[in-house]
Chains A and B, each alone.
Chain A
């Protein structure tokens, strides 16, 4: 599969039609999806029709959008009018989106072609894509392993070459960790960069839409198309959006990269080795490596699980089955109706709702929820202070490579701890990118993560671009 840029250039130059690009994508999906389960629904006729319209506009000499003819998949929690959006949950099994999310509007305006919706952990809760009602996603590199999550379908679709880019959402690492497990690029912009209008809410203070792509330049191009203020999302930012894909510098001379003190202490040898080698490579590219101190970062994972679960228990309160979603019509009265409907949530979702409700109970509120919110403020301050000394911060994306399907089933805390490096970014509202930096002995990809301040995606994209080019 060609990259995002190669498709756009070829379609605009007339050496490839949008129809050919989409057909190639649909063919790959047909061949590989039965084993991988990355897409839960594909819209071939509609995608081909749209591609033909783009080709017709080109032949009439009309100017095409910046993503002309690029086949793209969207995560199943993003609304696309007239299409199902189920969050891979039984609760929303038959829900059809009544309007377009802003990100979908932007993709369509840019002449991208949305080919289908991708598999995910139910309501984006999970980091292995094993909680989907449609079944697990298989990592394209090793079918017996997970692709990461919660945007596991989006990552696997790109890694398998079904599409050159997809949209995911990232609340604690759900774009970056699957990108790392599948050996592709995944970027979460700073909080407020992309509108979340029409994206099903999980944790409103942490959720962000992100991009998964086969290369950095493609991720940058899709990202710049999506960013910007939206009146329909009051948390979206007014700030100007740079042309990320056009602003790469000639080299990395003068770039200061911070490596947090103690971050590599409890890491497996193979991942550690790759991260240290990556730091050396950045040095060879002209960057300077400095040690920084982020003392409260170690509290990110417990903060994340309290804050996001509390917000989830509130956000998911709307799913009562009466306005939309599963409805048990045989229930005797309204209470029984609610209980029966809401019991359709899967195991992980139910658990997180209960965690959130526990943290918000008046007797636990100060000790649990308020303490987590305050510690989060200290994490943010640590990062702000670190960014006074350095331009970007380098960490592993995940402490491990992709694990086997079914592993850690009886040890959820082990899974929660695996989010340590990524959920810091959501607690701090930072921009973060994961890019491949090598493979372990089994041939499984290792990802490195670069953090930048909230509105400085350009810096991490630039560093990632040079790293990728130098691989």
Chain B
């Protein structure tokens, strides 16, 4: 897998992070080394492995809303900026 020259920077933007020039240069080289190393996985014959996306039903439970008022208040209280029961965020545009 060949990463393009600006991969570290563009991928960082995609996951809402910014990199300094120094970071981008360092990561770019390290990421390429890592993905070259990971390439060895492609030599494994995985035809015998079935569908890995199957979720075991036993692991699922219904979502139950939290009704503990005190806990709700504590969670809301952790918001950096709040208005009522909502986190207040900056304008989008």
Interface residues, chain A, CB within 8 Å of chain B?
Answer: 95-96, 98-99, 231, 234-235, 296, 299, 302-303, 305-306, 313, 317, 320-325, 327, 329, 331-340, 342-343, 345, 347, 350-351, 353-355, 357-358, 361, 364, 367-368, 370-375, 377-378, 412-413, 416
Contacts and interface: CB of A to CB of B under 8 A. Distances in A.
A234 B60 contact: yes
B92 A347 contact: no
A368 B37 CA distance: 12
B40 A299 contact: yes
The A contact surface, by secondary structure, is: helix
A338 B15 CA distance: 9
Contact of A322 (B19, B40, B87): B87
B16 A342 contact: yes
Interface in B30-61: 30-31, 33-35, 37-38, 40-42, 44, 46, 48-49, 52, 59-61
A373 B53 CA distance: 9
A96 B38 CA distance: 38
A110 B80 CA distance: 36
A353 B81 contact: no
A295 B17 CA distance: 39
A358 B15 CA distance: 10
Contact of A98 (B7, B31, B74, B87): B74
Given A235-B59, A358-B3, A371-B42, A412 B30 contact: yes
A335 B16 contact: yes
Contact of A373 (B52, B71, B92): B52
A342 B14 CA distance: 12
B85 to A, nearest CB: 12
A323 B37 contact: no
Contacts of A334: 89-92
Interface residues of B, number: 46
A334 B93 CA distance: 8
Most buried by B among A317, A343, A361, A374: A374
B44 A378 contact: yes
Contacts of B30: 351, 412
30 contacts: A98-B78, A302-B38, A305-B38, A313-B15, A322-B81, A322-B87, A323-B75, A333-B93, A334-B89, A334-B91, A335-B16, A337-B90, A338-B16, A339-B13, A339-B16, A350-B23, A351-B27, A354-B15, A355-B34, A358-B35, A371-B41, A371-B46, A372-B38, A373-B52, A374-B44, A374-B52, A375-B41, A377-B49, A412-B34, A416-B34
A119 B57 CA distance: 37
B52 to A, nearest CB: 5
Contacts of A337: 89-90
B46 A378 contact: yes
A300 B68 CA distance: 43
A342 B40 CA distance: 32
Nearest to A235: B59
